[in-house]
């Protein structure tokens, strides 16, 4: 059990049961399962709603014009450089950077030379506004067309889709502190020699593994051509293309063709497995089964990060209800509870399952092995 490294609650169990007791520091259930009181939400950051609203609109404007990746506390950037890079008028950029400075999100290094850098609270605020931006921006089509979804979900689902880029960006903002660090810690602890990431996105996590373990190799599988290109570009930037295989394929295809799992000692899936449920449950089962078979040969482990539905403890219940309702009602997805995940792993050949509750409300990291 680890309470100091961002883990909010952790249970190791062979029976797949969990405790929801939240009002004590630690509780051990009769089944031997331990749950730790999670403490404050969002890694302890508490911002007034007005600050979050203000920062949300300012930083989302910056994201839409492509400026945010250029802003960091460590690097000074000039309005002139931004104007050239983003192909925008310098005067408009200065106005925007001055607004960020007034908000306390940036600092002016030299007014005459138009030099700016992010303030010390920039990253922390980006993390906090990630929640607002994911719920309201990334899910905007659902909110705007809510009435149509209430009248006919099937028609509205076919018609209205979320912007994948907005989902990726806002997930990154939320996850930077609330789910990636825990997944990274657990994966690094496993010291992977061959890491397969199913639904890898831009292969951010995989590339971190390759950089941390110079002899390791990896496979980034994703259905999106854009994500695969981003993974390839990122690997090229840091010089790991010789150790990274990028595969543009669906996770579903691993059910009938599991060759890419061969030799893997860590197989990971981050917030992607629920996309197969409920419509493709046999395929979902087959992918888990094939993973268990491949990992049995290397004594490896499977790690899955996903959202648990309608969690009821006070820390998580509001955000969990939003995530669950959005997935169930608007997207027609079935999220699995901790117990259901445990059952799925077990019925597909895994023998020991561990569940860690993440700082990200409703987020769970499952580690499963087949002994
Ligand atoms: C929510 S993102 C998560 C990305 C990454 N795992 C992370 O945690 O940052 C989901 C990713 O899975 C990919 N994806 C969704 N459905 C997929 C499928 N059926 N097969 C393969 N990739 C899929 C998407 O293109 C996207 O890159």
Which atom of ligand 1 is found nearest the CA of 227?
27
In DSSP terms, 11 is beta-bridged to: 355
Range of the domain at 59: 49-118
Helix segments in 17-78, DSSP class H: 49-64
Separation of CA 44 and ligand 1 centre (Å): 28
Element (H, E) at 11: strand 9-13
Share of the chain above pLDDT 90, in %: 82
Q: Is the pLDDT of residue 33 over 80?
A: no
Per-residue confidence at 46, pLDDT binned at 50, 70, 90? confident
Which amino acid residue places its CA nearest to atom 12 of ligand 1? 199
Q: Show the CA angle centred on residue 296, arms to residues 11 and 184, nearest 5°.
A: 45
Which atom of ligand 1 is found nearest the CA of 222?
22
Instruction: Tell me: do 92 and 225 sit in the same domain.
Output: no
Answer whether 370's CB lies under 8 Å from 322's CB: no
Answer whether 303's CB lies under 8 Å from 183's CB: yes
Q: Is the pLDDT of residue 152 over 80?
A: yes
Instruction: Tell me: do 201 and 100 sit in the same domain.
Output: no
Q: How far apart are CA 189 and CA 345, in angstroms?
A: 21
| Cβ-based neighbour number of residue 112 at 10 Å | 5
The domain boundary, picked from 118, 150, 167, lies at 118
Separation of CA 270 and ligand 1 centre (Å): 7
Radius of gyration in angstroms for the set of CA atoms belonging to the chain, rounded to a whole number = 22
Q: How far apart are CA 68 and CA 55, in angstroms?
A: 13
The domain boundary, picked from 118, 145, 168, lies at 118
Instruction: Tell me: do 312 and 235 sit in the same domain.
Output: yes
Separation of CA 221 and ligand 1 centre (Å): 9
Please report whether residue 308 resides in a domain: yes
pTM greater than the 0.75 cutoff: yes
Please report whether residue 134 resides in a domain: no
Q: How far apart are CA 192 and CA 265, in angstroms?
A: 6
* 230 upstream amide cis, omega within 30 of 0: no
Instruction: Tell me: do 190 and 63 sit in the same domain.
Output: no
Q: How far apart are CA 251 and CA 362, in angstroms?
A: 23
Residue that has been written with the tokens 């950037």 in this structure: 77
For 113-149, what is each residue's pLDDT tens digit? 999 999 999 999 999 999 999 999 999 999 999 999 9
Q: Is the pLDDT of residue 329 over 70?
A: yes
Instruction: Tell me: do 197 and 326 sit in the same domain.
Output: yes
Most informative mutation of 162, 201, 363 for ligand 1 (most atoms within 8 A of CB): 201
Separation of CA 272 and ligand 1 centre (Å): 5
Domain count, the chain: 2
Please report whether residue 166 resides in a domain: no
The domain boundary, picked from 68, 90, 118, lies at 118
In this predicted structure, what is the pLDDT of residue 43? Answer: 61
Instruction: Tell me: do 195 and 335 sit in the same domain.
Output: yes
Answer whether 228's CB lies under 8 Å from 246's CB: yes
- The CATH number of the domain holding residue 251 is 3.40.50.150
Which atom of ligand 1 is found nearest the CA of 305?
8
Residue 55 DSSP class:
H
Please report whether residue 32 resides in a domain: no
Instruction: Tell me: do 105 and 206 sit in the same domain.
Output: no
Residue (of 23, 9, 37) closest to 308 by Cα position: 9
Instruction: Tell me: do 231 and 363 sit in the same domain.
Output: yes
Instruction: Tell me: do 300 and 211 sit in the same domain.
Output: yes
Q: How far apart are CA 371 and CA 353, in angstroms?
A: 11
For 174-204, what is each residue's pLDDT tens digit? 998 888 999 999 999 999 999 999 999 989 9
Instruction: Tell me: do 98 and 245 sit in the same domain.
Output: no
- The CATH number of the domain holding residue 53 is 1.10.10.10
Which amino acid residue places its CA nearest to atom 6 of ligand 1? 270
Ligand 1 contacts CB of residue 363 (under 6 A) = no
Q: Is the pLDDT of residue 80 over 60?
A: yes
Rounded to 10 degrees, the C-alpha dihedral 290/296/301/304 comes to 20
Element (H, E) at 230: helix 225-238
Instruction: Tell me: do 185 and 275 sit in the same domain.
Output: yes
132: Cα within 13 Å, side-chain hemisphere = 19
Instruction: Enter the tokens of residue 21.
Output: 């007791």
Distances in whole angstroms, Cα of residue 81 to Cα of each of 86, 116, 122: 8, 11, 20
Q: Is the pLDDT of residue 3 over 50?
A: no
Please report whether residue 64 resides in a domain: yes
Please report whether residue 162 resides in a domain: no
Separation of CA 181 and ligand 1 centre (Å): 18
Please report whether residue 128 resides in a domain: no
Q: Is the pLDDT of residue 57 over 60?
A: yes
Separation of CA 202 and ligand 1 centre (Å): 9
In DSSP terms, 194 is beta-bridged to: 217
Please report whether residue 145 resides in a domain: no
Query: What is the chain's mean pLDDT, rounded?
Result: 89
Separation of CA 307 and ligand 1 centre (Å): 14
Instruction: Tell me: do 195 and 67 sit in the same domain.
Output: no
């Amino acid at each position: 059990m680890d309470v100091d490294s961002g883990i909010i609650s952790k249970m190791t169990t062979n029976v797949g049961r969990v405790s929801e007791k939240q009002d004590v520091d630690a509780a051990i259930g009769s089944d031997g399962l331990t749950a730790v009181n999670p403490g404050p939400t969002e890694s302890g950051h508490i911002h007034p709603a007005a600050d979050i609203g203000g920062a949300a609109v300012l930083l989302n404007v910056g994201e839409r014009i492509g400026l945010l990746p250029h802003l960091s506390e460590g690097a000074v950037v000039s309005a002139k450089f931004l104007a050239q890079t983003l192909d925008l008028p310098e005067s408009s950029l200065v106005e925007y950077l001055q607004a960020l400075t007034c908000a306390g999100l940036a600092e002016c290094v030299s007014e005459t030379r138009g030099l700016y850098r992010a303030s010390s609270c920039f990253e922390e605020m980006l993390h906090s506004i990630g929640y607002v931006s994911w719920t309201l921006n990334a899910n905007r089509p659902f909110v705007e067309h809510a009435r149509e979804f209430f009248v006919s979900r099937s028609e509205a689902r076919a018609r209205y889709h979320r912007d994948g880029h907005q989902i990726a960006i806002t997930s990154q903002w939320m996850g930077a502190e609330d789910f990636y660090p825990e997944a990274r810690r657990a994966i690094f602890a496993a010291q992977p020699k061959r890491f397969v990431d199913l639904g890898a996105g831009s292969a951010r996590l995989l590339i971190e593994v390759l950089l941390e373990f110079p002899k390791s190799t990896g496979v980034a599988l994703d259905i999106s051509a854009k994500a695969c290109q981003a993974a390839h570009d990122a690997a090229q930037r840091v010089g790991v293309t010789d150790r990274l295989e990028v595969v543009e394929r669906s996770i579903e295809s691993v059910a009938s063709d599991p060759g890419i799992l061969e030799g893997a000692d860590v197989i990971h899936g981050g917030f992607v497995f629920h996309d197969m449920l409920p419509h493709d449950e046999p395929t979902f089962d087959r992918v888990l089964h094939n993973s268990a078979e491949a990992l049995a040969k290397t004594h490896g482990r499977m790690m899955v990060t996903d959202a648990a539905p309608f969690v009821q403890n006070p820390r998580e219940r509001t955000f969990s209800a939003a995530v669950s309702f959005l997935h169930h009602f608007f997207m027609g997805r079935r999220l699995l509870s901790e117990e259901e995940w445990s059952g799925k792993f077990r019925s597909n050949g895994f023998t020991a399952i561990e569940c860690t509750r993440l700082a990200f409300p409703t987020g769970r990291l499952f580690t499963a092995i087949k002994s």
